[in-house]
Amino acid sequence: MHITIHRNTGIMGAGDSMKIKLNGQEEKLKLDETNEIFFPEEPAVLEINQFGTKTVKLEVNDGDTIEISHKKWLTWINFLLLLFTPWPTTLYFCVGLFLLFCIYNYLFGFYNVAVIES
């Protein structure tokens, strides 16, 4: 049995590979990469994680095609943060914005994970 996973996150989250766990079997997925993962038992639990983001869990079956994309509203939030950030700014302000962004991503999730074909 197998599933196909495609990471379509664009520039958002491009700095690090994504950790994919399928029933404990760990794989890594780079930006815009498609990977086929084989597993012995059905249904399986897919866990997706990237540094600093909330773990997303999804139950998958044989032959599923999964697409991982970023949430579109995050692009707008990043744009607004950059637009309204006073320049030049202090190091404390930059660190505070970064921590706020990380907490926000962790609480509300960063990615959409969907079965696009079953």
Where exactly are the structural domains of the chain? 2-117
Q: Is 105 helix (H, G, I), strand (E, B) or coil?
A: helix
pLDDT of residue 79: 75
User: If you compute the radius of gyration of the chain from its CA atoms, what whole number of angstroms results?
Assistant: 17
Looking at 1-118, list the stretches that DSSP marks H as alpha helix, in order from N- to C-terminal side: 72-84, 91-108
CATH fold, domain 2-117, is Immunoglobulin-like (2.60.40)
pLDDT of residue 83: 77
pLDDT of residue 32: 84
pLDDT of residue 14: 67
pTM, to two decimals? 0.73
pLDDT of residue 118: 67
Q: Which residues of the chain have pLDDT under 50?
A: none
pLDDT of residue 13: 65
Phi first, then psi, for residue 115 (nearest 5°) are -85, 115
